[in-house]
A and B are shown apart, each in its own frame.
Chain A
Amino acid sequence: MSAVTTPQPKRPREEGGLTLAQRDARLAYALLAVPVLIVLAVVIFPLLWNILLSFQSLRLIDLRNLNLFSFTPTLDNYRRVLSSRGFMELLRTTLIYATFGTILPILMGLAAALLARDAFPGRSIWRGFMLFPYIAPIVAVAFVWRIMLNAQFGIVNEWMVDLFGAQRISFLSQRTIDLGMPGLHEFPLALSMVIFFQGWRYFPFSFLFFLARLQALPDNLYEAAEVDGASLTERFWFITMPQLRGVMGTLILLRFIWTFNKFDDIFLLTGGAAGTEIITVKIYDWLFGRSDVGAAAALSIILALILIVLLMIYFRWFFQEDEA
């Protein structure tokens, strides 16, 4: 780094007769070459190659003598994945998980942001705690939840038994539970738990966004409404909420994409058991459980296609509503 500390006399025209603009452009390309090459090699190339893999009959043990481009294209992988038992259920679980796993953290984040909007004693420490679930490593928090929800020695069961004399429940390995109400006789238990986990872990993200937006709202918006006699709840619905629409749209979009692609959380919490198998976990199962690289690639392409279609619907709906 000592080279840059010795100032060099600047000449208007460098060797080769390049203009300043040309030299700037050259420097820019040189500086951008590294990130562009890395992204091409580790993101774009694998992405395209994944498409090829999905049309290839390939098992894990064949990897060693794999030839990158010479293969007989086949649709077998797609056929196998789409016709496998439970594909429709897989799709359904994924959509339920992604939808409620998007809504719950956003609602919780909104609630927490509204609470933190006006100062209270200890607010800055409280705000720090709010971010814990989000910044803590996924393995640590997933296992704490597993132990808290454990049927034998988990604290949640312990409290339920003490307080209500309830039966012990294995929250994360029981598919459904009878809540004893009409329509709730087969309530999906494990799936609800992983959605609650989503709410707990990712609400801080929405919290930060909502809080930043709320604190930027001008006071005079509310003063006028107060003079007009709008109550607290009215002020919330008619002034605060419309102001949060933009943030809400962004959060729904980002959170849905990320939840839809999420692997770690369910893999660590349930391993996909008890009615919580989602597409990403199934991809892992095809790859290592069944050593079927081709089918895993095909399912990951299906995942990407479903996401693209859903995003197109979202954007159409979003822009139509804006025009209306």
Chain B
Amino acid sequence: MTYTRETIEQFLIGKVLRWIGILFFFLITAFPFYYMVLLSFRSIQNLLTDPGNLMPDWSLVASMETYINIMKPVSQGGQGFYTFILNSLMVATIATALTLIIAILAAFAATRLDFRGKGLINWGILLVYLVPAIVLAIPLFVIFSKLGFRATVERRLFGLIIVYLSSTLPVALYMLRSYFQTIPTALEEAALIDGTTRLGTIWRIIIPLSVPAIASTGLYVFMIAWNEFLYALLFLLEERDAWTLSLGVAQLNTQEVPKTMLMAGSVVITVPIIILFFFFERFLTQGLTAGAVKG
């Protein structure tokens, strides 16, 4: 065997460097999540005296004490995470459902119907997509205060849903539209001739054929709403009962709350997303690239 440039490169880059790289990327992505779970199962005293320890305190794993503490309502000395989970679930689910319904109908109109001003839709999507959240944050904050959307818990959450709806609509419409364009129209034409209405074809033909695209769009919207922080901070801060999970976790970062609880809160907000991801990885990966998820 001769040592040509090719064989040396093959060995160094193709084998050695490649495996080092694979290991490196695995460690940097997996370790922070391991560390997060680990700290949620240790006591704060233990963390301060022995920071380098990479094993959990098994008695805390068994008792789930840190988690029970953050779940309990404030009146019982807890952090009220139970309420935050319900708020987040409600906001994200309603925002996702509304976005999907409106976007499916709009994407149908944009791909199957002829009307004046069709070209404007593309520009509208692009324009809205590129508007920075922070630029909208100030006027929305002012308008919502003025309209009383910051008066009660329900109104605050309603305002938040509207904002999530409007910020995810353009990309949901974009994703569904590109998928609908790939469905051949022959089936719908046949159904129209058989007497189905235009709207009937959406329910009976387009939706059943687009389940994967609808799933990726829905997951994407849900994820955005579940993870969102800035608007939650602006609209909900003064009303603890209205907090979503991301705001609740952020508010754990104070001197009084042990960092182990902060990590337990982080685990609580992350786990549902990771579970969704494992169940729907294929859809989610498609959604991430197709919609070029903003983040």
A68 to B145, CA, bound (A): 12
B residues in contact with A130, CB < 8 Å? 25, 29
Judge if B152 is at the interface, Cβ distance under 8 Å. Answer: no
Complex interface residues of chain A between 105 and 143 (CB less than 8 A to chain B): 111-112, 115, 120, 126, 128-141, 143
Q: Which B residues between 5 and 46 are near A, CB-CB below 8 angstroms?
A: 5-6, 9-10, 13-14, 18, 21-22, 25-26, 28-30, 32-33, 35-36, 39
Q: Is B288 an interface residue (CB 8 A)?
A: yes
The answer, among B146, B204, B227, for a CB contact under 8 Å with A63, is: B146
Do residues A264 and B230 form an inter-chain contact, with CB atoms below 8 A? Answer: yes
Among A42, A120, A130, A132: residue with most chain B CB under 10 A:
A42
B284 and A283 contact, CB distance less than 8 A? no
Q: Looking at the complex, which one of A31, A132, A140 makes contact with B249 (CB distance below 8 Å)?
A: A140
Nearest CB in chain B: distance from A101 CB, A: 12
Does B223 interact with chain A (Cβ within 8 Å)?
yes
B186 CB-CB contact with A under 8 Å:
no
Give the size of the chain B interface in residues (CB under 8 angstroms).
103
- The listed residue (B136, B142, B170, B292) touching A293 by CB distance below 8 A is B142
- A307 at the B interface (CB under 8 A): yes
A42-B166, A112-B25, A138-B229 as given contacts; A53 in contact with B139, CB under 8 Å: yes
A129 CA to B165 CA, complexed, in Å: 29
Q: How far is the CB of B255 from chain A (nearest CB, A)?
A: 13
**Nearest residue, chain A, Cβ from B232:** A139
| A35 interfacial by beta-carbon distance below 8 Å | yes
For the complex, what is the distance from the CA of A229 to the CA of B4, rounded to whole Å?
11
Interface residues on A, range: 35 or more
Q: Does B242 contact A (CB under 8 A)?
A: no
The answer to whether A35 touches B134 (Cβ under 8 A) is: no
Q: Check: A144 CB closer than 8 A to any chain B CB.
A: yes
Pick from A21-29, A79-87, A172-180 the stretch touching chain B. Answer: A21-29
The listed residue (A53, A115, A258) touching B25 by CB distance below 8 A is: A115
Whether the Cβ atoms of A144 and B263 lie closer than 8 Å is yes
Complex contacts, B135 vs chain A, CB 8 Å = 47, 50, 261, 300-301, 303-304
Would you call A96 an interface residue if the criterion is a C-beta within 8 Å of the partner chain's C-beta atoms?
no
User: Contact mask B249-281 → A, CB, 8 Å, 1/0?
Assistant: 110010000010011011101100110011001
- With A31-B106, A133-B29, A141-B32 as given contacts, are A42 and B162 in contact (CB-CB < 8 Å)? yes
Neighbouring B residues of A38 by C-beta, 8 Å? 102, 162, 165-166, 169
Cβ–Cβ contact B203 & A1, under 8 A: yes
List the A residue with the shortest CB-CB distance to B28.
A200
A212 interfacial contact with B, CB 8 Å? yes
Q: Among the listed B18, B134, B266, B288, which residue makes an inter-chain contact with A115, where contact means beta carbons less than 8 Å apart?
A: B18
Select the stretch in B63-71, B75-83, B124-132, B209-217 that faces chain A.
Answer: B124-132
Chain A residue with Cβ nearest B52: A158
Q: How far is the CA of A202 from the CA of B293 in the complex (A)?
A: 11
Instruction: Decide: A115 near B22, CB < 8 A? Known: A4-B197, A63-B142.
Output: yes
A147-B288 contact in complex given A10-B195, A232-B6, C-beta closer than 8 Å = no
Contacts of A35 in B (CB 8 A): 102-103, 106, 169, 173
Among A147-166, those with CB < 8 Å from B are: 147-148, 150, 152-155, 157-159, 162
Do B169 and A147 touch (CB < 8 A)? no
Q: Are B133 and A263 in contact (CB under 8 A)?
A: yes
**When the two chains form their complex, are residues A153 and B14 in contact, meaning their CB atoms are under 8 A apart?**
no
Q: How far, in Å, is B10 (CB) from chain A's closest CB?
A: 6
Report yes or no: B30 in contact with A132, Cβ–Cβ below 8 A: yes
Smallest Cβ distance from A212 to chain B, in angstroms? 6
Does B138 belong to the interface (CB within 8 Å)? Answer: yes
Residue of B nearest to A203 (CB): B25
**Interface pair A139/B250, CB less than 8 Å apart:** yes
Residues of chain A with a CB closer than 8 A to B5's CB: 231
Given A39-B166, A129-B29, A136-B273, check contact A147 B263 (CB 8 Å). Answer: yes
For the complex, is B48 an interface residue (Cβ under 8 Å from A)?
Answer: yes
Bound Cα distance from A200 to B27, whole angstroms: 11
Q: A261 touching B133 by the CB < 8 A rule?
A: yes
Chain A residues with CB under 8 Å of B230's CB are: 263-264
Given contacts A53-B139, A63-B146, A152-B48, contact A24 B114 (CB under 8 A): yes
CB-based closest 8 A-B pairs: A140-B266, A261-B132, A46-B139, A42-B166, A28-B113, A25-B115, A153-B51, A31-B109
Name 7 A/B residue pairs within 8 A (Cβ), A-sorted: A25-B113, A38-B162, A143-B262, A147-B263, A264-B229, A280-B134, A307-B132
Where the two chains meet, the residues of A that have a C-beta atom closer than 8 Å to any C-beta of B are 1, 4-5, 7-10, 21, 24-25, 27-29, 31-32, 34-36, 38-39, 41-43, 45-47, 49-50, 53, 63-64, 66, 68, 111-112, 115, 120, 126, 128-141, 143-148, 150, 152-155, 157-159, 162, 200, 202, 205, 208-209, 212, 229, 231-233, 254, 257-258, 260-261, 263-264, 268, 280, 283-284, 287, 293, 296-297, 300-301, 303-304, 307
Sample of 12 further A-B pairs with CB below 8 A, known A115-B18, A261-B133: A35-B106, A46-B136, A49-B139, A131-B285, A132-B29, A137-B227, A144-B35, A147-B262, A155-B52, A258-B294, A264-B230, A300-B134
